[in-house]
């Protein structure tokens, strides 16, 4: 009996590899904690996404781009694979500046700057979402603390509720700390690219300035959250 040989198309293999790697790319988050407001979920989810390991998304982009380039180009596979690796920077869109930077190492300067500038803009949009959400989170904590203090003044204080509020503020503060660290990391990466590309990186200068401004807002919000933690009544 003749054995049947099943041919697997390289594109199928790369897609399977991408799915396998992406399944491992998740990071621990407290965004699914019961009772969180929509704003707390946004803050914690974005903080988690910002701090995902860069390696897996970068591998997905470069591996997929290079393989598809080699498969689709018959005459000069080496050149096509190199080009495909550069195109891989577009795969996993929204992954942010750090991933775009890794995925465009093989790209031309013009293409690398284009992709990285767009990715920096995406990061800025995400930081703005965090800032907007955190403003509401701070307001929510302030309201909760006022209710707790009123209850204590009436002799109806609840230590469990106070402890839950402190825990929630601590977790929100931790998420904001991660977001600030991610912001600083992107500023440092963009600064390196500006120094590398010189005057051609003028579009990145504007993005870096926006990120620096956002860092000021984020630090101010973290200070407020820490202040609210201290303000929670304990007796």
Residue with tokens 């904001």: 176
Determine the pLDDT at residue 51: 79
Which tens digits make up the pLDDT trace of 3-20?
A: 555 554 554 544 454 445
Determine the pLDDT at residue 55: 47
Whether residue 63 contacts residue 88, with contact meaning beta carbons closer than 8 Å, is answered with yes
What pTM did the predictor assign? 0.76
The SS3 call for residue 105 is coil
Low-confidence ranges of the chain (pLDDT < 70): 1-29, 53-95
Residue 128: in which H helix or E strand, if any?
Answer: helix 109-153
């Amino acid at each position: 009996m003749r054995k049947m040989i099943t041919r697997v198309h390289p594109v199928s293999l790369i897609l399977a590899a991408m799915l396998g790697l992406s399944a491992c790319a998740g990071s621990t988050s407290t965004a699914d904690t019961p009772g969180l407001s929509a704003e707390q979920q946004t803050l914690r989810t974005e903080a988690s996404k910002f701090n995902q390991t860069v390696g897996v998304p970068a591998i997905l982009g470069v591996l997929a781009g290079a393989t598809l380039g080699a498969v689709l180009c018959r005459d000069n596979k080496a050149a096509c694979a190199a080009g495909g690796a550069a195109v891989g920077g577009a795969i996993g869109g929204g992954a942010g500046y750090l991933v775009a930077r890794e995925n465009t190492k093989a790209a031309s300067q013009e293409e690398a700057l284009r992709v990285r500038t767009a990715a920096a803009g995406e990061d800025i949009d995400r930081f703005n979402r965090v800032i907007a959400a955190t403003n509401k989170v701070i307001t929510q904590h302030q309201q909760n603390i006022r209710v707790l203090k009123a209850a204590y003044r009436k002799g109806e204080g609840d230590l469990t509720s106070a402890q839950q509020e402190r825990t929630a503020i601590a977790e929100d503060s931790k998420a904001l700390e991660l977001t600030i660290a991610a912001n600083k990391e992107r500023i440092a990466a963009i600064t390196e690219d500006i120094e590398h590309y010189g005057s051609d990186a003028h579009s990145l200068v504007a993005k870096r300035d926006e990120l620096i401004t956002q860092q000021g807002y984020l630090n101010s919000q973290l200070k407020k959250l820490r202040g609210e933690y201290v303000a929670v009544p304990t007796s």
